[in-house]
Structure 1
Amino acid sequence: MLLKTLSEVNGTSGAEKEIRNTIRSEIALWVESTFIDKIGNLIAHKTEIKNTPKVLLTAHMDEVALMVTEITSEGFLNFRPVGGIDPRVLVSKPVKISGVNGVIGAKAIHLQKMQERQQALKLEQLYIDIGSKSKEETSKYVKLGDYAYFTTEFESLGHGLLKGKALDDRVGCYILTEILKKTFDLSLVAAFTVQEEVGLRGAKVAAYHLNPDFAIVLEGTVSAEMAHLEEEEDWVTELGKGPAISILDQTTLYNPQLIQQVVNLANHKKIPFQFRRGSSGGNDAGKIHISREGIPTLSINVPCRYIHSGVSLVNKADIENTIRLIEAILKAIPHDYNFGQENGGILK
């Protein structure tokens, strides 16, 4: 399964080469051309048809990871996160650095004072242990600036769930790849972007360069339907309820008219969907929609449990229905639509 491959390939912000090459090879037969811009985005032109709107689809390639910042005299590795990672989820996680296996360690509970046991471990209290005995030995295998990746194996879990690392946003990359294998009667370009997790940097470059008439961001987003959280208020999204349409987040206020048109289309096509019920976080839409004179932008998201950790869960049906919804949107865009019309509609 392609999603398994995308999940298990490593590629954090600024180090997306391996995942970029994997995607480029996968889509080569389905697009007219590909190129890599100066910041590292993979740009793929699917079709270019005169007098039709140019539509941009994006998904970011980078994943959260760790960067080695110090090798101690004992041979341990101090690190900092690349992207937003909660230190509380890191203890005892297996990782790999430059081909070397390691484990994230901390002072054992038996050695902690009572006051220490009552507080969550901080990043400074964690380290990576690769089993070496000295700084000199560790330095043979690892250098400062190397990335440490989680080693989660992708697999099916429970009733229709998929488990893996980096599903934010390899699930979006997978959906975009599948969309590029289909045929659409409009000008379509895809951007597999870099450095989303550290400031939406690749999307800013891609949007300015490509200057599309309309953009859709494909993203994996938080799902927190857990027993100790209040339903509706804190769950944000739910697995199995379909793709989540963003209304508001920290970087974007989405156009209500565009959202309503997608809702009408989903209802007409009998595609299940939900709204992203939360305003925290952000994605590449934050840079795309304010590029140049402004670009009408939607964000369609696949719910993911345990996002920004070593392992996430997604629902296979949600992925399939997201593909259905994106395909329906692209086929519904009229050729003569003027995206500059304030009261116009993007859909037939």
Structure 2
Amino acid sequence: MKQNVYIIGLGLIGASLAIAIKKEHPAIHLTGWDFSEETRKIAQEKHIVDEIPESFENGAQQADVILLAVPIKTSLNYLRQLADLPLKQGVLVTDAGSTKQEIMALAETLPFDFIGGHPMAGSHKSGVLAANGDLFENAYFIFTIPEDEVVAKRVTELQTLFKGTRSKYVLLSSVEHDQITGMLSHFPHIIASGLVNQADVFNQIHPRAKQLAAGGFRDITRIASSDPQMWTDILLSNRESLIALIATWQQQMSEVSEWLSESNRERIFQFFENAKDTRDKLPIHSNGAIPAFYDLFVDVPDKPGAIAEIMSILAEAAISVINVKILETREDIVGVLQITFKTQQDLQEGQSWIEKRTNYPCRLK
């Protein structure tokens, strides 16, 4: 009898996991559900899932494994609904949420086995049409297991199910998970959004600032473009960790302010030197808490057809491109072409092809 895997939420993460599961386990029967009728239709037409059930409840009752690939608060609501349904004996439920303490606390009260999951990957795009079976390759896939030893042993079932993601599995407690992702993912999103909001107020006084922000400022704050509803849920689900991190940040910024007031050159230098040394030691080719951005910057000469030439080269090499932007922030040339690729390998191949076929200077940052 085929194993029935039921994926609730067919956006980028849910649909990408579906593709990865089917690639590794073609015999599995994939059922999918999404609140959007259009998304359900697309997922079935593109064969991302094998079946769309008549209702959310019907799909859940037929499932051997249930995956919640929806925002945190939505997952909590779905779990409460699942608890009232006559599910299969031995059903295993998991999720793909960015915080774990709240959902693991609820899981302890549920009448079925639950193991928390968090595939740490994402993309510039969202929705079922952005689905990519290679999205999680070499990314960390975190599992948070309950105190019940019998249920905890079932994590191997999920590791087998998600083998096609080619992820690196990590086991963490829910507390440790939320503290780490709070520092490395959630808190940076707060800082980036705060910078953008402060710049917006500043732009009202200095309108030219918005034009100049098109370069480096836009790049270092790009994660502020994330879904507001999703990040509201994440912050509220990880309040304690983030309140502590914000307090530490405020204290550090107060110290920097004092050093500036005192013209303390030595402490300011140490501040930047330590940051540089720490960042230079970070892994380069590993996917961490924030999705990596594979950008190539090409100096575009002032001549007709230059951009078309570059894109034709990439098309000839069958290299996929996610996004293309022209940055007009330099005075010595007309513009810089910023090309965003899906993977590190695509980036390296794209750079190699462009440099071989043109004399346009390319750089990674």
Query: Larger % of strand: which?
Result: 1
**TM-score higher than 0.5:** no
- Quickly name the TM-score band, shorter chain normalised: under 0.3
* Higher share of residues assigned helix: 2
Scaled by the length of structure 1, the TM-score of the pair is 0.25
More RCO (CA 8 Å, sep 6+): 1
Taking structure 2 as the reference length, the TM-score comes to: 0.24
The higher radius of gyration belongs to: 2
